[in-house]
Amino acid sequence: MSEDKETSLLGRKFSRRTALTLAGTFGAGMALGGGGALSARELAEGDQTVEFYGEHQAGIATPQQDRLHFAAFDLTVSKAEEIRDLMRAWSDAAARMCAGKSVGGGNDAFVPPEDTGEAQDLTAGRLTVTFGFGPTLFEKDGKDRFGLASRKPEALQEIPDLPGDNLDPELSGGDVCVQACADDPQVAFHAVRNLARIGRGAAVIRWSQLGFGRTSSTSSAQKTPRNLMGFKDGTNNIRAEDEDLMDNYVWVREGPAWMQSGTYLVARRIRMLIEIWDRSPLLEQEQTIGRHRASGAPLGKEDEYDKVDLEAKGPDGLPLIPMDSHIRLARKDQRERILRRGYSFTDGMDSKTGQLDAGLFFISFQRDPHRQFVPLQRRLGQNDRLTEYIQHTGSAVFACPPGVRRGGFAGESLLA
């Protein structure tokens, strides 16, 4: 690749030779961390790479990394071929970065460097890059922009207005999303920045969100992470290693052929009204969630994983787990199960209110948002006591196509 000096990759021709080079580069060598850039010491620190290619896109069933940089792009091109070129260039760059390599090849002194350089010498940090297509890619303001409208999946409808929404259009929507996750924020930032740069002239960032893991690499003692309300969050989440659950609730098996083995991503920026929450008594907090804060156990139980008993009553005859508590309402319908993979965020002060702008950047993956996320959230938004303490300020939905084959690109089944 080092002979390739073009800084905008959109016009790049992908020769058979390039394709073969790619196949070789990302073939057998992957397990060793992608080679070249990594020192023996880094390799000794453990495998820092996650395979980019495969049946499903990485970053969905992948064990959650510590940091997130999520970006939603609007396309500025006019033809489907240009989207294809973009996705090819992005996939190539993403595969290189996930393997711990720089974008592009050599650095000629007289042209801008192809890679912006801030991740040089860093490991891949388990980077994954996951792509998705928003409803507006298929149809926007009633217009079939790219001739793709007939291929739009039934399941890819905009998320409807939901109770309690307070959405900012500038933090919602987007034609294409990029979810970059890594254990190192500089690696995640580097990925989004370089994709934005490669996309120049074809795509502009509409909004982006940084998140931090609710886990900590410095604490292997922590099992279920805590959110910024101080509660364990994810006790009953789908485990990505449970293939039956993933097949039942996450991987798509219906709709258009191009989405088979893909999934749908719902992103919701959920601001927590932290100052109000922090002034609530512990009892109120625990009754809002339905769990004990310290242990994570369902109310009335001892251990985090004790069975939730929705019938149990206290000495006053009232349900131990209140009717409007979050876990009671969230568990109502097993058909709505989703794979959650969100991150905490804080974006400093809200200058309008002088309060911390912080919360949960909720990400879920599911086979059909309108049978899983939407009814779940509609019920929560209407009845959940937690609604007093949160506001959904951003919303988006994307179709994440299946995984990328070597020599191929993300979205090939739709765009090729």
Q: Which of residues 158-177 bind a copy of itself (CB under 8 A)?
A: 170
Provide the token pair at 20.
């073969």
Among 3, 17, 143, 220, binds a copy of itself (CB under 8 A): 220
Among 209, 263, 288, 377, binds a copy of itself (CB under 8 A): 209
Among 129, 274, 289, 376, binds a copy of itself (CB under 8 A): 274
Q: Does 273 bind a copy of itself (CB under 8 A)?
A: no
Per-residue mark of binding to a copy of itself, 351-370 (x: CB under 8 A): x--x-x-x------------
Please list every residue from 59 through 78 that binds a copy of itself, using CB under 8 A: 69
Handedness of CA 91, 416, 407, 246 (dihedral sign): positive
Q: Does 231 bind a copy of itself (CB under 8 A)?
A: yes
Provide the token pair at 353.
């209110």
Neighbouring residues of 150: CB distance < 8 A, sequence distance ≥ 6: none
Smallest separation, CB 20 to a copy of itself (Å): 28
Question: How many CA atoms lie less than 13 Å away from 102 in the CB half-sphere?
Answer: 16
Element (H, E) at 94: helix 80-98
Dist CA 204 CA 86 (whole Å): 12
Among 18, 107, 260, 391, binds a copy of itself (CB under 8 A): 107
Dist CA 373 CA 130 (whole Å): 20
Per-residue mark of binding to a copy of itself, 232-271 (x: CB under 8 A): ----------------------------------------
The residue count for binding a copy of itself (CB under 8 A) is 76
Please list every residue from 287 through 316 that binds a copy of itself, using CB under 8 A: 293-294
182, 99 in Cβ contact below 8 A?
A: no
Dist CA 172 CA 388 (whole Å): 22
Neighbouring residues of 352: CB distance < 8 A, sequence distance ≥ 6: none
For a copy of itself, the closer CB: 261 or 355: 355
For a copy of itself, the closer CB: 150 or 220: 220
